[in-house]
Amino acid sequence: MSLFPGKYRYENEEHDNLGVDWVIQYQFEDVDQTQAIEEFRTLIHDLEEAGFRTQVRHGYGASLIICIRLPRDRLGHMVHKSRVKDWLFAISHTLPAEEEDAIVEAEHPAEELRSVYHALTWQKELGGAGITPGCGKWKNITAAFPLHNTSANSELLRKWSRSTGLTVNDLDTIRALFGENVAFYFAFIHCYSMFLIFPAAWGVFCWFYFGPYSVTFAIVNCIWCIFFVEYWKIRELDLSFRWGVKYIGELKVDRPQYVWEKEVRDPITGKIERVFPAWKQLLRQLLLLPFASVATAALGTLIVVTFAMEVFISEVYNGPFKGYFEFLPTVLFSLSLPTISSVLNGMATRLTDYENYRTQDQYDLAQTQKTFVMNIITSFFPTLLTAFVYVPFGAKIVPYLDIFNVTGFNSSEIQTEFKVNSARLEQEVMYLSVTAQILNFGEEFVLPYVKRWLRQKWRAYRQKHSDHGHVRSRSKATELLLVDSEEESTLMNRIRNEADAEKYNVQDDILEMCVQFGYLALFGVAWPLVALGFLVNNWLEIRGDFFKLSLECQRPSPIRTDSIGPSLQGLEFLTWLGTLSTAAIVHLYRSQVEDVKLSSLLLTILIAEQTYLATRFAVRTGLEKLCSDSVRRNEARRYNVRKGYLELYWRSMANSPTSSPSRVRQQRVRFNERVDVYSSATEESHDSDENGKTESDQIEKNSDILRGSHREARFWSGHQGTTADAGVKLIQALNTKKPDRGKDFKSKAGKKID
């Protein structure tokens, strides 16, 4: 879509998508031919019915690659329609200037692709092809995705490798390439990293001067957390206005899986709406509580058991093979965690399905919430255990761990001999902020890369093998189909690789950041350099994520959101929890752990919480007051829209006085008639407003008749002379002060008048 397409295209073939908008992968590994052909034909039929141009190629193994493209005029029209819809829902405030059936060009690729996405996935009655990959009759469609814009991606990567931070233009670019929800993630991580600079520096300072568990650091850190979260909220609002996606949730279409109870026609707009009663949904959502408790129980026990074993082995056990046993807990944990969490995930999904959300967004959010809960538990529970159970009460608990009585000597001896090392928390936090981050990085970026490389190797091998195997008689034409023409081979290979690449789930990355923030908020005080470690990590993370997104994952279909979703609540929760835990940790670890009075500890926590609430309130009000600019601008735009309308309306009225839009005129409340004193200004009363109108008209006719009797008329005609003169006379008559030197003149004036 460049100005001089021809010229440019030849420069870099490998970047050319040959105008392919979207790619569909049809897998028929385990479908028998009849059915496969049947499904494929319907697919193609539906696509072409929806106005797509299609091309088919063979994929890896028993799969087909269908390249589709929406003709530009149709695309342009869909873009226009979606803009009009945005305007109707007051998402955007600039009216599309074109006439009803206009064809416009998208502002950026994301908008274009979004329209293609709608054309592909929306139900037929909404004018789409109604193709929902992986669900229902389309369960054999294993992938449907837009092609990457490789040149733009590599360009961005190159730029970032040079620059330190992201500019707002970079964010706009990401938004233009991958849509808002991805852009919001990058905006978030960037904003967060920028904020990290302060605690990093401050942490280094405190590390040198106060060491760990310093009160100063604790307080500053907590305030910083509150400040960041509140600032991000505003930043988010800002961006959502900038990208024109605020309140976008309203206009999303129903999920195909959405079950509604009745269809009602909206009395005001006249649109048909599919209603599922809110209270039912609420009741179903209450199932979240049992779920949460089950999850907590399952994960909790797992963690506790592992923890206990670990402690037992490291501290108590002195029997044979100690060296090997050391690793046992970790191994067990990492073996059992996936299974448990997969089970829980299954439950979560079923729960979310049951909750029956109208739009895909709501569904995803609900799902994310649940994963979030589980993540919180798995990430923070172990360290919390260390901080508040193991270190303080270790000396008391540990002996009881010796259940099998494997240790030679009796527990009383242990108790005397056993000593909890209170540096352990520090070590653990260090581990979290350095080692864990590195491991995480490797897991996130290196591992998939390796896996992918291996997969390709394996495929190539199998390919060769299978060719050596059964040789089938194929027609000439088929042969032709099976080999790519050299000019499209590069593209086709890229497509095939993208087709079996992973899907990119932005919520996971957001979650990762939230957990990181959580570590800082909860345990940062134990080792002030935490923030520094995170800062370095995030510098890599931003680039790594973009690398992953653009080279290792399918290009996500550009979805519009106006927030980072439930993670925001998560952040607030973590800030709150952070304040409490920080207070507790400081209180516990500053003095000798053994001689801490419970009451004083509780008091600290209580005070900390009150301070937290107060600070949050103050910061919030303050920031809202200061950063209300984007809101103001939005209101100004709305004002303009209405102004424009009004002018247009008045103009059109000047031309044809009859054309007045349908509106409900409110009934007048009259007080002097007994009858309808209590007929109130409700919008429902259409009937009586007609005579209300006529009445007001007839009154407007004779502009200011003094209604009701001649008494009124007499009153207003008043005594002879003007009010001013009358008043002057009265003043002279009434004023009780001693006659002053101006008096006689005044009285003369008085005389003059009468």
Contact positions with its own copies (CB under 8 A) in 278-337: 278-279, 281-282
Full 3-state SS string of 84-99: HHHHHCCCCCCCCCCC
CB of 627 to its own copies, least distance (A): 9
Asked whether position 751 contacts its own copies by CB under 8 A, the answer is yes
Please report how the helices 506-523 and 215-242 are oriented relative to each other, as an axis angle in degrees rounded to 10.
160
| 3-class DSSP assignment, residue 80 | helix
Q: Which stretch binds its own copies (CB under 8 A): 119-127, 445-453, 529-537, 709-717?
A: 709-717
The nearest distance, CB 520 to its own copies, in angstroms, is 22
CB of 461 to its own copies, least distance (A): 16
List of residues 6+ apart from 151 with CB closer than 8 A? 12, 15
Structure letter (DSSP) for residue 548: I
CB of 396 to its own copies, least distance (A): 18
Q: How far is the CB of 81 from its own copies (least distance, A)?
A: 12
Residues 6+ positions from 555 with CB-CB distance below 8 Å: 145, 146, 147, 148, 149, 178, 498, 504
Segment 396 to 425, residues that bind its own copies, using CB under 8 A: none
Which residue lies nearer to its own copies by CB, 61 or 544? Answer: 61
Tell me the C-alpha distance between 236 and 30, whole Å. 46
Work out whether 628 is an interface residue with its own copies (CB under 8 A). Answer: yes
Number of residues that bind its own copies (CB under 8 A): 194
Candidate residues 413, 502, 690, 695; the one interacting with its own copies per rule CB under 8 A? 695
Smallest gap from Cβ 752 to its own copies, in A, equals 11
Residues within window 213-272 making contact with its own copies, judged by CB under 8 A = 243, 250, 266, 268-269
Exactly one of 444, 605, 611, 630 binds its own copies (CB under 8 A); that residue is 605
Q: Which stretch binds its own copies (CB under 8 A): 130-138, 292-300, 419-427, 694-702?
A: 694-702
Do 487 and 393 form a contact (C-beta atoms < 8 A)? no
Using the rule CB under 8 A, which residue among 339, 467, 472, 594 binds its own copies? 472
C-alpha 107/C-alpha 85 separation (Å) is 16
Using CB under 8 A, which residues numbered 638 to 667 contact its own copies?
A: 638-654, 657, 659-667
Residue closer to its own copies by CB (options 452, 633) is 633
* Site for its own copies contains 594 (CB under 8 A): no
CA distances from 268 to 176, 272, 536, 689 (A): 35, 11, 55, 18
Residue 34 binding its own copies, by CB under 8 A: yes
- List the one residue from 294, 406, 480, 690 that touches its own copies (CB under 8 A): 480
Site for its own copies contains 137 (CB under 8 A): no
173 near its own copies, judged by CB under 8 A: yes
Judged by CB under 8 A, does residue 687 bind its own copies?
Answer: no
Centre a 10 Å sphere on the Cβ of residue 237 and count the other Cβ atoms it contains.
19
482 binds its own copies (CB under 8 A): yes
58 or 459, CB closer to its own copies?
58
> Is the distance from CB of 112 to CB of 140 less than 8 angstroms?
no
Measured CA to CA, the distance from residue 224 to residue 528 in angstroms comes to 14
- Minimum CB–partner distance for residue 371 and its own copies (Å): 19
- Confirm or reject binding of residue 474 to its own copies (CB under 8 A): yes
Pinpoint the alpha helices (H) of 432-566: 437-441, 447-468, 476-482, 486-499, 506-523, 530-547
Work out how close the CB of 370 gets to its own copies at its nearest, in angstroms, rounded to a whole number: 16
Q: By CB under 8 A, is residue 162 in contact with its own copies? A: no
Gap between the Cα atoms of 488 and 496, Å rounded? 12
Beta-ladder partners of 274: 263
Closest separation in Å from C-beta 319 to its own copies: 40
- Burial label for 194, CB within 10 Å (0-12, 13-18, 19+), is middle
Please report, as residue ranges, which positions from 427 to 466 form the binding site for its own copies (by CB under 8 A).
none
Nearer to its own copies, 149 or 221 (CB): 149
Encode 613-655 in three state secondary structure. Answer: HHHHHHHHHHHHHHCCHHHHHHHHHHHHHHHHHHHHHHHHHHH
CA nearest neighbour of 142 among 132, 150, 152, 151: 132
DSSP 8-state symbol, 250: G
> Could you tell me which of 459, 443, 448 has the C-alpha nearest to residue 552?
448
Distance CA 633, CA 82 (A): 23
Residue 595 interacts with its own copies (CB under 8 A): yes or no: no
Is 334 or 747 the residue whose CB approaches its own copies more closely? 747
Distance (Å, rounded) from C-alpha 512 to C-alpha 534?
12
Count of all residues that appear for the chain in the document: 754
Q: Which of 79, 127, 88 is nearest to 251 (CA)?
A: 88
Helices (H) and strands (E) in the chain, counts: 29, 6
Angle subtended by helix axes 180-209 and 168-178, to nearest 10: 140
What part of residues 724-743 is at the interface with its own copies (CB under 8 A)? 724, 726-737, 740, 742-743
Closest to its own copies by CB, 172 or 353: 172
Chain positions 74 to 113 lying near its own copies, rule: CB under 8 A, are 76, 84, 87-90, 94-95, 97, 99-100, 103-109
Min. distance of Cβ 636 from its own copies in angstroms?
4
Work out which of 609, 611, 620, 630 binds its own copies, going by CB under 8 A: 609
Interaction pattern, residues 551-580, with its own copies; x per rule: CB under 8 A: -------------------------x----
669 lies in the binding site for its own copies (CB under 8 A): yes
488 binds its own copies (CB under 8 A): yes
Quote the distance between the C-alpha of residue 663 and its chain's center: 37
Binding mask 40-79 for its own copies (x = CB under 8 A): xx--xx--x----xxxxxx--xxxx-xx-x-xxx--x---
